[in-house]
Amino acid sequence: MAALELCGVPLRGPVLNGSGTFDAIAARRAFGDALFERFPFDAFVSKTITLEPRQGNPPPRLWETPAGMINSIGLPNKGLEGFLASDLPELAPLPVPLVVSVMGFSRDELAQLVAAVDDRDEVAMLELNVSCPNVETGLVMGADPAETALAVERVRSETAKPLVLKLTPNATDPAAVAAAAEGAGADAVSLVNTLKGMALDPETGDPWLGGRTGGVSGPAIRAIALEQVAAVASRVEIPVIGMGGIASGRQAADFMDAGATAVAIGTESFRDPAAGCRIAAELADLSLSRGTRPTSSTTV
Ligand code: RRO
C-alpha cells in the first residue's frame, strides 16, 4: 500500500537515494533477489546520464574529509543510447518507482534527453541535474534563477512526467532558484547537491583530485543542507526532497520538520549499502513515538 504520493507517484515511504550514490545494477549482481526483497529505498534515482557517453574525470576522484568526502567523478556514463539499451532494462524490474536523472550541456541537449526518457513507461519521474559541481554547465544553469527558468521552460513541453529539479547549494540564493523552477513548471525540487570543495596533495601542495576541485558531501554539510531545505520549503509550494549528510532517522526527521516531503540518502550508503532500510525504520519508529506519521496518509 502506498504510504505517500510524490508528484502523483505512489511511494511506500519517503526515503530515496541521492543520484549516483547507490549502484542498483551492481548491487543486484552482488545480492541477487535479496536486494529486491529488501530494497533500501522507496524510489530509485539513477546516476545522471548525458546525451553522449563520458569517461569522467581523471583519477584520483575521491578525497576523505572529516565527516565527509569530496568527489570529482565527472559524470562518467554510457550516454543516452547506452543507458536506454543496457541500464534501463536492468533498472526497470526494481520494486520501486524509477527516477531518471539527466544533465545537458545546453537546453536543447536537456530537451533531447527528456523527450527520449519520456517515451519509456518504466520511468516514473525525471530529475534534471543542473547542479553537478564537476562540470562547468551545472554551475551556470543551476546557480542562476533566470537560467534555471529557461531550462525548465525548454523541457516542460517535452514530458508529462513529473520533473524534479536538483538544486545546487553553490548558489547565492537557492530559494530564488527553486522559486524560478517552480514558476517555470517544475513539479518538485531536490537539494542539496554537493558543495564545491578542494583538497591538496600533502606532499606536493597541488590539487589532489584529477578534476582539481570536487563536491563535498556527508555529515560535514548537513547543517548547511538543512538551512537551505528550510529556506526553499518556505518559499515554494511544490514538494521538496531534502538531502545532505543524512545518516539516521533522527536526521531525516529534521529535514522533514524543515519542510521536506521526502529525503534522500547519499554518502551514508557508501559506508553502509543498507543504510536506507535502517534510516527508514528509524524514521518510522520516531514518527510513531511522536504521534505524527509523516510516512502515512500524506499526499502532495
Ligand atoms: O559525477 C559527478 O562528479 C557528480 C555529479 Br553528476 C553530481 O551531480 N554531484 C556530484 O557531487 N558529483
Q: Which of ligand 1's atoms lies nearest the C-alpha of 76?
A: 1
Residue 1 pLDDT: 53
- Going through 12-106 in order, the beta strands assigned E by DSSP cover 15-17, 44-45, 62-65, 68-71, 98-102
Q: Whose CA is nearest to atom 1 of ligand 1?
A: 75
Catalytic residue among 98, 132, 163, 225: 132
Best substitution site from 71, 136, 209 to test ligand 1's pocket, by max atoms within 8 Å of Cβ?
71
Burial of 26 (0-12, 13-18, 19+ CB in 10 A): exposed
Which residues lie with the beta carbon below 6 Å from any ligand 1 atom? 20, 48, 71-75, 129, 132-134, 193-194, 215
Q: Rounded to the nearest whole angstrom, what is the distance from the C-alpha of residue 285 to the centroid of ligand 1?
A: 32
Q: Rounded to the nearest whole angstrom, what is the distance from the C-alpha of residue 19 to the centroid of ligand 1?
A: 8
Q: Which residue has the higher pLDDT, 147 or 290?
A: 147
Q: Rounded to the nearest whole angstrom, what is the distance from the C-alpha of residue 289 to the centroid of ligand 1?
A: 37
* 292 pLDDT more than 80: no
Q: Which residue has the higher pLDDT, 40 or 137?
A: 40
Residue 22 pLDDT: 98
Distance (Å) of CA 289 to CA 53, 64, 258: 48, 36, 19
Residue 299 pLDDT: 44
Residue 297 pLDDT: 41
Mean pLDDT of the chain: 94
Best substitution site from 50, 110, 194 to test ligand 1's pocket, by max atoms within 8 Å of Cβ?
194
Average pLDDT over residues 266-282: 97
pLDDT digits (tens, 9 = 90+) for 40-72: 999 999 999 999 999 999 999 999 999 999 999
Average pLDDT over residues 113-139: 89
Residue 136 pLDDT: 61
Q: Which residue has the cell 548537513?
A: 222
- Where is average pLDDT lowest: 69-73, 184-188, 290-294? 290-294
* 288 pLDDT more than 90: no
* 298 pLDDT more than 70: no
Beta bridge partners of 49: 102
Q: Whose CA is nearest to atom 7 of ligand 1?
A: 132
pLDDT digits (tens, 9 = 90+) for 69-88: 999 999 999 999 999 999 99
Average pLDDT over residues 155-162: 98
d(Cα 232, Cα 173) in Å, to the nearest integer?
Answer: 9
Q: Cell triple for residue 149?
A: 527558468
Residue 249 pLDDT: 98
Contact criterion met (CB below 8 Å) for 127 and 164:
yes
Q: Which residue has the cell 550516454?
A: 79
Average pLDDT over residues 172-185: 98
Best substitution site from 73, 164, 198 to test ligand 1's pocket, by max atoms within 8 Å of Cβ?
73
Q: Which residue has the higher pLDDT, 3 or 28?
A: 28
Residue 297, CB-side half-sphere exposure with 13 Å CA sphere: 3
Assess whether 7 carries a catalytic annotation: no
* 294 pLDDT more than 60: no
Residue 115 pLDDT: 98
pLDDT digits (tens, 9 = 90+) for 189-236: 999 999 999 999 999 999 999 999 999 999 999 999 999 999 999 999
- Where is average pLDDT lowest: 40-54, 96-110, 123-137, 170-184? 123-137
Determine what percent of the chain is predicted with pLDDT higher than 70. 95
